[in-house]
Structure 1
């Protein structure tokens, strides 16, 4: 069952609205905007978590970030080599 919806009036630059409408496809502009807002909320929540973690443990270094990126890349390569063609 889908979530209940409400009707809202928003204001945005015309060029942004037209670009969104052009990309929205068959789901329509409302669904496209709702998905974009949901992604922004996820990002805001992640940023809040990062701020809490950094306050407790100190800032994350670029070296630590790169080490995790390298680790993820190695895992992806191993998955592909193991036959997980669907793995990304």
Structure 2
């Protein structure tokens, strides 16, 4: 990750305390940064899919499930057995 900058954000107190309890006082910023990176990636993926579907037929259920498996790094075959 590039250089860091301090920001002030507001979060629901119960959510922030749950994260702090999970990661400890030193991991809060890293946890939030990772969550934001994942959200940005998912937003970009949504844009890519929307652009694709503008020029092509919609994705099938099987194609969506295959993409989800790749995003989870889950390379199971259709019978549920790891490949």
Common fold: TM-score over 0.5: yes
RMSD: 2.4
Q: Which consecutive unaligned segments of at least 5 residues does structure 1 have?
A: 79-88
Q: Which among 75, 79, 82 is matched to residue 77 of structure 1?
A: 82
Q: Which consecutive unaligned segments of at least 5 residues does structure 2 have?
A: 70-74
Instruction: Please name the residue that 1:59 is paired with.
Output: 58
**Structure 2 Cα separation of the partners of residues 44 and 35 of structure 1:** 14
**Structure 1 Cα separation of the partners of residues 33 and 63 of structure 2:** 34
Name the larger-Rg structure. Answer: 1
> Following superposition of structure 1 onto structure 2, how do residues 28-43 of structure 1 map, counting pairs within 5 Å?
28-43=27-42
Alignment length (residue pairs): 74
Match of 2:77, SS?
Answer: helix
> Following superposition of structure 1 onto structure 2, how do residues 11-50 of structure 1 map, counting pairs within 5 Å?
11-25=10-24, 27-50=26-49
**Structure 2 Cα separation of the partners of residues 40 and 8 of structure 1:** 18
Measured after TM superposition, the shift of residue 26 of structure 1 is 6.9
Q: TM-score, normalised by structure 2?
A: 0.72
